[in-house]
Chains A and B, each alone.
Chain A
Amino acid sequence: MSERSLQYQSQNALTVEHSPTLTGLSVVPIGLFLVAFVVGSATLAGRLGFESPLFGLALETVFTALLFASGACLLATGAASRLEIVDTTPDRSAGVGVASGFGFVAFSAIGLTASQTFGLGGVRWALPASVVGVLVAGSILFAREDFGVTVPSGLFSLLIGGLFLFDVIDPSWTFSPAGFGVTFFGTVFVPLLTIVASFVGAWAAANAFQGFGAAGRQAGAFFLIGTNAALILLVLVLLIAFIVKNGFGYAVEGIEIGPGLHFHWPFVMDGYDVFLGQKGIFPAIVGTFWLVVGAVVLAVPIGVGAAVFLTEYAEQGRFTSVVEVATNGLWSTPSVVFGLFGYAFLVPRLGNNTSLLAGMIVLGFMLLPLVLITSREAIKSVPDEYRDASAALGVSKWETIKEVTIPSAMPGIVTGVIIGIGRIAGETAPILIVTADNPQRKFAPAVLGSFEFTATPPFIVNDALLSGSSALPYQLYGAITTGVVGDDPGYGWATAFVLLLVVLSFYVIGIVTRMYFRKKLHA
């Protein structure tokens, strides 16, 4: 027992109780952050303006009030915890990370004010900024955690709110930092600062919600990470919604169904012909279709074959690692470099002009590493028991691969190919260099009908394959650079909409297939 008497901590209670006061106080800043985020973003996006009041209040007053409420709540939380009115479990200090974060904010604020507003140069702005920064960081370090977290974030909110209240920063305020060709207007800066300050406040409140300490820091960190995930979702949804909203109407305009089997979708089924008044993207859709087909025909057999060889036959050694490095290198090679390569290697040898065939081969080369990597993963994940069981029955290795390994790896391979197709279908740069032709074309390439036999080598020719074509992503690029978008923005949005629809359907199909097979595997 004597040895255990070294222990230096009393046993804590096995249960934690959250006092309702603490919960109530700390939920408020989180809610206020959400409000500030919504109102602030709406202002930034131009949906709300400073000249038009919100619920009878000037927008500026709303922001100021939000900040004051949040700051006051945080200070109250900190005081309640420090005076032990509520039960919390704070650590001795908020830690170096928090201290240096707030120290840096203080340093930048003072530095910017001194150098830009008062025009102090060199050491004369750096000195006060550093002193204040270090002071802020130091006092946070030496304060108990509950104070170290709530007080600086609360004061930050109050300070910004104060700047708004006394019109130091108001919507008519402008700020042009020397050396940057940019002007910050109050109309942007006020909502931006409100969002930032209330976000910091919400983080501190999440910390307080769990009573500081290890649990509090976890809540704070999870709040940040969760917000990040939510923002990524938001960006994705906004991107897609934006394109659908702007492009859908234009894309589906004038669809005729019936009588009978008659079906006409002008945007998707017509070419681009100014004289006929047609503005469709049919040639680009067909071009993309053939490009994808060609790339798949080239890349899938080579990629899957190489994956089988590397996993099943080759011994791990220098050869496999060289191929691995090359594959990963191909994966990271920028698409524009593939385009350059195609131009130097393929174009002179395929009729000396940009062509659909060159595009197919270049996209095939781009698809190759994707197929190889995903197929290899899929083949590797086939359990060895399958191979052993088959070998134990006296089946040869090749038969085993054909009958057991590849079928079991099929879901993975198919998913990889589908997602890979989604990726190359949206590639623009290589098409631009090796396939480019007039992007707004009247007619689609007639690949199937253009095969011709000749008496001289190469005996079969196909003019459609050997001449340039358009493709969906290239059509969009062409619409931007040739100024079509400037005259008719809807055309650009509609093209983007169809392109996104094509590419994302491959992704959705790929992801859903994978989920389906995973579920089946686990069931």
Chain B
Amino acid sequence: MSNTLQRGDQSEIDEGDDRRESLLRLVAGASLGGSLLTFLVAPWLTVFFVIAFLAVVGYGWFAYQERTAKGLMFLATVSTALVLVLIIAFLFIRSLPAFGHMGLEILYTDGDFWSRANDWYSLYPAIWGTGLTTILATIVAAPLGIASAIFISEIAPPWAHEIVKPAVETLAGIPSIVYGFIGFTIINGYMMDNFGLTSIGSIVVVGVVVGLMALPTVASVAEDAIASVPDHMKDGAAAIGATKWQTIKSVTIPASFSGVSAAVLLGVGRAVGETMAATVILGNVMELPEPLYNVFGNTVTLTSLIASQYGNSHGLHREALFAAGVILFITVMALSVTAQVIEARVKRNLGGDL
């Protein structure tokens, strides 16, 4: 930490200043560390350290503005990473008892799934439900999202571009609870009336709705990837007399394939983590669909399990919900990291040009 801070650009500061500055940095660091520590163990004391930190920063700002600013910005950067670290730490700590109690049966079990009377919490149905809805959502979001990306970046005439691109973004802006509300009031009833479903809520409705919600993510990330294929490469195909569609199919999409697959992965991540629509639409019963692939059946997802049971949970029950959070987090993080690795490799392979 201090290394980076010392890499100052100005050198015309005499030694006295230098010493005073290191002292300041020390005090600032100590007070900030103290704030964090006290917040973790004794929150009522935090205020003293915060005041100390503010005082040091305030003095530093007037004395050495550039270095103080740089230090603060460095702290901002570190704290972004720190948020993730804190999330990981708290999720894991809170879920450990559940993992310890249930062992591997938390992931898969033959017998009972969920019983508060027996303190028995297996997440198997929720994992299965999440998998099933995510597959359905991906079937909707991936092809339609990629098609919209192609439309926006390659095919649309200017007027259509001006309409469709904001429309896709707006689709991303509609809150998930609104999708859930429509699913709950309209689609669930429609499915019961017209498809003879016997229970409120079904996996297929959640899958399609969540797919629609993940579509903008796929579309906008894939659009970035497709648009970054350099024009001169497409010109090359056009100059040989390839049609636009041939160019898209055989030059643009292959060249941006990695970016497009990263888009799909991120879309899958969105679908896995989508909470409110699933919570409101599904029946949230801790059961597997019967048979397993019955997409018209009812079940629960990891997200809807947490949201629907959180309010009245205690002890191990609550810790089991944290375990559900851990599984969600690991899945989504794995998807995110894979997507980034793919994108980084593309950049490296094509010299950052693409």
Indicate whether A and B are direct neighbours in the complex (CB within 8 Å). yes
Q: Given that A226-B155, A309-B77 are known contacts, is A489 also in contact with B173, CB under 8 Å in the complex?
A: no
Of A182, A218, A310, A336, the residue contacting B328 (CB under 8 A) is A336
Q: How large is the interface on A (under 10, 10 to 19, 20 to 34, 35 or more residues)?
A: 35 or more
Q: Does B136 contact A (CB under 8 A)?
A: no
Which residues of chain A have C-beta atoms less than 8 A from B294's C-beta? 179-181
Q: Given that A214-B246, A426-B177, A499-B177 are known contacts, is A180 also in contact with B295, CB under 8 Å in the complex?
A: yes
Report A407-424 CB contacts with B as 1/0, cut-off 8 Å. 000000000000100110
Which residues of chain A have C-beta atoms less than 8 A from B325's C-beta? 336-337, 340-341
Closest to A486 in B: B185
CA distance in complex: A500, B182 (Å): 12
Q: Which of A148-156, A233-241, A256-264, A279-287 contacts B (4 or more CB under 8 A)?
A: A233-241
Inter-subunit contact A185/B245 (CB<8 Å): no
Please count how many residues in chain B sit with their CB below 8 Å of the partner chain's CB atoms.
109
Report B310-354 CB contacts with A as 1/0, cut-off 8 Å. 110000000001100100110011011101100000000000000
Which residues of chain A have C-beta atoms less than 8 A from B261's C-beta? none
Inter-subunit contact B80/A368 (CB<8 Å): yes
Q: Given that A236-B171, A344-B94, A349-B39 are known contacts, is A182 also in contact with B83, CB under 8 Å in the complex?
A: no
Q: Does A365 contact B (CB under 8 A)?
A: yes
CA distance in complex: A269, B331 (Å): 43
Which residues of chain B have C-beta atoms less than 8 A from A331's C-beta? 336
Task: Tally the A-B contacts, defined by beta carbons under 8 Å.
Answer: 297
Q: Given that A305-B77, A336-B303 are known contacts, is A398 also in contact with B197, CB under 8 Å in the complex?
A: no
Q: Does B65 contact A (CB under 8 A)?
A: yes
Of B48, B77, B174, B243, the residue contacting A457 (CB under 8 A) is B48
Q: Does A36 contact B (CB under 8 A)?
A: no
Closest to A334 in B: B273
Of B44, B91, B184, B275, the residue contacting A335 (CB under 8 A) is B275
Inter-subunit contact B90/A344 (CB<8 Å): yes
CA distance in complex: A166, B306 (Å): 52
Inter-subunit contact A504/B83 (CB<8 Å): no
Q: Given that A332-B336, A511-B166 are known contacts, is A222 also in contact with B182, CB under 8 Å in the complex?
A: no
Q: Which of B20-28, B100-108, B113-121, B156-164 contacts A (4 or more CB under 8 A)?
A: B156-164
Inter-subunit contact B276/A429 (CB<8 Å): yes
Nearest CB on A from B47, distance (A): 4
Inter-subunit contact B72/A333 (CB<8 Å): no
Closest to A213 in B: B243
CA distance in complex: A403, B40 (Å): 38
Report B69-95 CB contacts with A as 1/0, cut-off 8 Å. 110111111011101101100110110
CA distance in complex: A426, B186 (Å): 20
Q: Does B264 contact A (CB under 8 A)?
A: no
Inter-subunit contact A396/B10 (CB<8 Å): yes
CA distance in complex: A127, B155 (Å): 42
Q: Which of A23-31, A139-147, A317-325 contacts B (4 or more CB under 8 A)?
A: A317-325
Which residues of chain A (97-120) have a CB below 8 Å from chain B?
A: none
Which residues of chain A have C-beta atoms less than 8 A from B144's C-beta? 228, 232
Closest to B216 in A: A232
Inter-subunit contact A185/B80 (CB<8 Å): no
Q: Does A503 contact B (CB under 8 A)?
A: yes
Closest to B295 in A: A180
Which residues of chain B have C-beta atoms less than 8 A from A432's C-beta? 307, 310-311
Q: Which of B52-60, B145-153, B225-233 contacts A (4 or more CB under 8 A)?
A: B145-153
CA distance in complex: A151, B133 (Å): 37
Q: Does B198 contact A (CB under 8 A)?
A: yes
Q: Does B194 contact A (CB under 8 A)?
A: yes
Inter-subunit contact A337/B328 (CB<8 Å): yes
Of B48, B152, B178, B266, the residue contacting A499 (CB under 8 A) is B178
CA distance in complex: A458, B42 (Å): 12
Which residues of chain A have C-beta atoms less than 8 A from B266's C-beta? 332
Q: Does A184 contact B (CB under 8 A)?
A: yes
Inter-subunit contact B39/A476 (CB<8 Å): no
Inter-subunit contact B171/A235 (CB<8 Å): yes
Nearest CB on B from A289, distance (A): 16
Which residues of chain A have C-beta atoms less than 8 A from B173's C-beta? 419, 422-423, 426, 503-504, 506-507
Q: Given that A183-B196, A239-B174, A332-B270 are known contacts, is A457 also in contact with B70, CB under 8 Å in the complex?
A: no
CA distance in complex: A436, B307 (Å): 12
CA distance in complex: A184, B195 (Å): 5
Which residues of chain A have C-beta atoms less than 8 A from B181's C-beta? 476, 480, 485, 492, 496
Inter-subunit contact A218/B174 (CB<8 Å): no
Of B45, B194, B270, B307, the residue contacting A429 (CB under 8 A) is B307
Besides A229-B160, A306-B80, 12 new A-B residue pairs in contact (Cβ under 8 A), listed by A number: A233-B167, A236-B167, A301-B76, A314-B4, A322-B81, A334-B272, A336-B328, A340-B90, A349-B39, A489-B185, A496-B178, A499-B175
Pairs across A and B, CB under 8 Å, 10 listed: A303-B76, A305-B73, A310-B77, A313-B70, A334-B329, A340-B306, A422-B173, A425-B175, A428-B176, A458-B46
A residues whose Cβ falls under 8 Å from a Cβ of B: 44, 174, 176, 179-185, 187-188, 214-215, 217-218, 221-222, 224-226, 228-229, 232-233, 235-236, 239, 242-243, 301-303, 305-306, 308-310, 313-314, 319, 322-341, 343-345, 349-350, 365, 368-369, 372, 396-398, 419, 422-423, 425-429, 432-433, 436, 457-459, 473, 476-477, 480-481, 485, 489, 492, 496, 499-500, 503-504, 506-508, 511
B residues whose Cβ falls under 8 Å from a Cβ of A: 4, 9-10, 39-40, 43-48, 65-66, 69-70, 72-77, 79-81, 83-84, 86-87, 90-91, 93-94, 144, 147-148, 150-152, 155-156, 160, 163-164, 166-178, 180-182, 184-186, 194-198, 212, 215, 242-246, 249, 266, 269-270, 272-276, 279-280, 290-291, 293-297, 303, 306-307, 310-311, 321-322, 325, 328-329, 332-333, 335-337, 339-340
